[in-house]
């Protein structure tokens, strides 16, 4: 530096530094506008000021949402379930033929029936649906909440994280997009030298012109520290998320389970129908499942199994089961399909198996959701297996992973009864549901050929447990391909301890 009492900066850096010294913090968009420049034109200058320790650049992604085209249409015409209840209030009962003549698409009708059934406002029979007046009031409150929240998204706004927001997103009533938000803050270093900043020219390369013209005496030379060591290349190492998955696999084997595998591309038969998920269930809507176009079954399907599944669906769920729908191809939405395949292949007996692999669901990426994630599914089969065994397994699994206290609450799943959800505590996100499970219903087991046997089943959220173990509060960071992040982030202490490295 040319003087001990001044800090000389090139003109562009000087303008940014003095502006931030006054404002302390600014969005990059406002900073660029104040300087009369484009955002992309100031990024290199910001990087240099950050390298000098004068500023801190804070980057984050904000997801904003607004009403989709279908959402606007439903606000104008009424939600499908709202229109359906109006018809039921007039007629009291509608046949399946009547439902087809309502002027709504098949998936709209299926979703509407599923929601009405969820609130106990209808009863589904063999030939149609019947109004249940005791559930109408709760259903109307639900419609009121959905439409009120939907109106709030008529103008783009930050996506909320309440259950109602997630439902609007699942149903495609709102569309979302990620907006990058970047702010710049002045550091204490900048504030301490703000009064000493001067505008000047900083030379990084000594040219013949600088020497011959004598300008070297009036410019600032950028210092070079030749004593700085070059960064050392680190040896390759396993990704931290893979470490966690491998350790979970070790825990399951140590508890006496055998690992099994299954296909990623699955028949709806195995993904839904064998699990006694009705073909009108909301979880089978196009917005919740990745279906393969033009695909056809690539394996022979047992005619006995198909007939049994059909018989149980029509007898216990009260609708006409469609084999064509059951044979459509999807990307599996859970690994429970692997569990029921194993039950069909092995039949009756005493055994424990698990699978840990990827599943796929249409979703909008946010800190707790991705379109592709991992599940650890498993089953315990035996005549004496009980719900108590399932709860004890959850406790042992959580203890092996160092997850601390597990809290249980009753739950509902179409294919298990009783059902439970187990919660463990994330240091930042609070209590997170990661241990869902239950006892397979007879409507699942008997078509598979299991009579007199009990099966405890579960589908554990691997990614969410990994977030807890790795102290990560954004699920997207689990899949980081940043080599620096992989080098710095160590495996969880429980993994290191198990391998004698802690």
pTM over 0.85: no
Is residue 470 very low, low, confident or very high in pLDDT (cuts 50, 70, 90)? confident
Q: What are phi and psi of 20, to 5 degrees?
A: -70, -30
Mean pLDDT of 65-69: 91
Distance CA 493, CA 247 (A): 11
- Long-range contacts formed by 45-48: CB under 8 A, 24+ apart: 45/12, 45/13, 45/16, 46/16, 46/184, 48/13
Share of the chain above pLDDT 70, in %: 90
Query: Can you give the C-alpha Rg of the chain in angstroms?
Result: 30
Mean pLDDT of 89-118: 89
Q: How many CB atoms lie within 10 A of CB 64?
A: 16
Partnered with residue 422 across adjacent β-strands are: 408, 435
Domain extent listing, the chain: 7-54+187-221, 67-177, 241-263+335-493
CA atoms within 13 A on the CB side of 367: 15
Q: At what angle do helices 11-23 and 28-35 cross, to 10 degrees?
A: 120
Cα first-last separation, the chain: 48
Written as one string, the DSSP assignment of 172-206 is TSEEEEEEEEEEEEE-HHHHHHGGGEEE--EESS-
**Sign of the CA dihedral with 352 first, then 357, 362, and 366 last:** positive
- pLDDT surpasses 50 at 500: no
Both tokens of 315, joined, read 């007898």
Where is pLDDT greater, at 367 or 417?
Answer: 417
CATH classification of 67-177, choosing from 1.10.357, 2.60.40, 1.10.10, 3.30.750? 1.10.10
- pLDDT surpasses 70 at 1: no
Q: What are phi and psi of 140, to 5 degrees?
A: -65, -35
Q: Which residue has the tokens 């359906």?
A: 84
On whether the CB atoms of residues 401 and 461 are closer than 8 A, the answer is: no
Of 111, 135, 109, 110, give the one whose Cα is nearest residue 122.
135
- pLDDT surpasses 60 at 4: no
Both tokens of 84, joined, read 């359906």
- pLDDT surpasses 80 at 204: no
Query: Which CATH class for the 241-263+335-493 domain?
Result: alpha beta
Mean pLDDT of 336-345: 95
On whether the CB atoms of residues 359 and 335 are closer than 8 A, the answer is: yes
- pLDDT score recorded for residue 501: 43
- Pairing type for strands 202-203 and 220-221 reads parallel
- pLDDT score recorded for residue 100: 86
Q: What is the largest CA-CA distance in the chain?
A: 99
- pLDDT score recorded for residue 198: 85
Q: Do domains 67-177 and 241-263+335-493 have the same CATH topology?
A: no
Mean pLDDT of 272-278: 93
- pLDDT surpasses 90 at 107: no
Average pLDDT, the chain: 87
């Amino acid at each position: 530096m040319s003087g001990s009492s001044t800090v000389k900066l090139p003109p562009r850096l000087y303008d940014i530094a003095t502006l931030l010294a006054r404002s302390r913090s600014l969005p990059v968009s406002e900073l660029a506008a104040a300087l009369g420049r484009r955002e992309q034109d100031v990024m290199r200058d910001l990087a240099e000021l950050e390298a000098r320790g004068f500023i801190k650049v804070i980057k984050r992604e904000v997801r904003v949402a607004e009403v989709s085209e279908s959402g606007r249409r439903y606000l104008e015409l009424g939600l499908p379930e709202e229109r359906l209840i109006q018809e039921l209030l007039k007629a009291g009962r509608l046949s399946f033929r009547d439902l087809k003549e309502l002027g709504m698409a098949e998936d709209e009708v299926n979703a509407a029936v599923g929601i009405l059934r969820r609130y106990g406002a209808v009863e589904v029979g063999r030939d149609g649906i019947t109004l249940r007046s005791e559930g109408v009031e709760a259903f109307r409150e639900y419609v009121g909440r959905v439409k009120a929240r939907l109106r709030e998204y008529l103008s783009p706004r930050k996506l909320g994280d309440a259950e109602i927001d997630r439902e609007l997103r699942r149903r495609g009533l709102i569309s979302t997009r990620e907006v990058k938000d970047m702010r710049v803050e002045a550091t204490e270093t900048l504030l301490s030298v703000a009064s000493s900043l001067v505008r000047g020219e900083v030379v990084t390369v000594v040219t013949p012109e600088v020497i011959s013209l004598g300008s070297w005496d009036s410019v600032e030379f950028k210092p070079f520290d030749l004593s700085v060591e070059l960064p050392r290349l680190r040896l390759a190492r396993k990704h931290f998320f893979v470490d966690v998955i491998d350790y979970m696999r070790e825990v399951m084997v140590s508890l006496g389970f055998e690992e099994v595998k299954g296909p990623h591309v699955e028949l709806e038969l195995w993904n839904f129908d064998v699990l006694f998920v009705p073909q009108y269930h909301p979880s089978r809507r196009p917005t919740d499942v990745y279906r393969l176009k033009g695909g056809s079954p690539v394996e022979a399907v047992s005619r006995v199994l198909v007939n049994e599944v059909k018989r149980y669906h029509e007898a216990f769920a009260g609708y006409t089961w469609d084999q064509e729908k059951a044979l459509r191809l999807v990307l599996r939405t859970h690994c429970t399909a692997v569990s029921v395949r194993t039950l069909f292949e092995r039949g009756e007996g005493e055994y424990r198996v698990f699978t840990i692999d990827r599943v796929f669901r249409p979703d909008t990426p946010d800190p707790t959701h991705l379109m592709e994630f991992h599940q650890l599914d498993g089953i315990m089969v035996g005549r004496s297996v009980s719900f108590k065994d399932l709860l004890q397994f959850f406790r042992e699994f959580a203890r092996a992973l160092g997850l601390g206290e597990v809290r249980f609450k009753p739950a509902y799943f179409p294919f298990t009864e009783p059902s439970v959800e187990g919660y463990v505590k994330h240091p930042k996100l609070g209590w997170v549901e990661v241990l869902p499970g239950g006892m397979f219903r007879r409507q699942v087991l008997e078509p598979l050929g299991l009579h007199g046997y009990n099966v405890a089943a579960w589908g554990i959220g691997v990614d969410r447990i990994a977030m807890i173990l790795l102290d990560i509060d954004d699920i997207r960071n689990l899949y980081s391909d940043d080599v620096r992040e992989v080098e710095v982030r160590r495996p969880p202490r429980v993994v290191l301890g198990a391998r004698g490295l802690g």
